[in-house]
Amino acid sequence: MSLFDRFYYRLWVFITYVLGKIFFRLEYRYQDQIPKEGKLVVIANHQSFLDPPMIGTGMPRFSHYMARDTLFKGLFGWHIRHLNAFPISRDKNPIAGIKETLKRLKEEQAVIIFPEGTRSEDGRLGEFQKGIISVARRSKAPILPCVIQGAYDAFPRHSKFVHLHKIIITYGKLIPAEKVQEMNEDELLLFLRGIIAEMLGEESGNSETDEKMKAE
């Protein structure tokens, strides 16, 4: 990263944190679970356009993330490139995006991945894409599960307006690279989706986090 990119990234982390606190009562949990160095895959549910900057802001290191190639246009495209985003095509050939993901992980970076591949239609966890999970496994990096709650209510898909709603981001327990490699892609997909679903409280539909968010 250039000196300018480092400055720009840190500036937007500060701006995102301040605005998140003011408008969304942004709360981070278990940030001590995040490794401060070494290659790392962060997998998270995808509720809103707010997810990448808010998840990255809570990390004590520079983070990178893949984004839909159609977003890399004009001023916004310039903006997210300087926040370490890189394009991946869902409709055409995704190989370039996959190679870039593996390249950045080889450089010992942290890459945020959304295995659903797109934002949730209703706020609930969608199905994971096997191709994205395959990239995570091929990288031979440890995996850190992460969930974001409240972002769908704050800025749902198809909405043009942002709503004031509490957002909570929880970082889970690190899954060592050795454990990741013990599973094949199908097993890893089910394992990771199960962890994210459990962290969201979707298996029972009644988690302490959900109750706290309702109360607040």
d(CA 123, CA 112): 19
Per-residue pLDDT tens over the stretch 81-129 = 999 999 888 776 778 888 999 999 999 999 999 999 889 988 899 999 8
Say yes or no to pLDDT of 204 above 50: no
Helix (H/G/I), strand (E/B), else coil: 27: strand
**What pLDDT is recorded for position 207?**
44
pTM, 2 dp: 0.87
State the pLDDT confidence band at 210, using cuts at 50, 70 and 90: very low
CATH number of the CATH domain containing 40? 3.40.1130.10
d(CA 164, CA 121): 19
**What pLDDT is recorded for position 216?**
47
**What pLDDT is recorded for position 214?**
47
Helix (H/G/I), strand (E/B), else coil: 185: helix
User: Can you read off the two tokens belonging to residue 122?
Assistant: 């209703």
Mean pLDDT score of the chain, rounded to an integer? 90
Say yes or no to pLDDT of 215 above 70: no
- Give residue 72's domain range: 3-215
Q: How many domains does the chain have?
A: 1
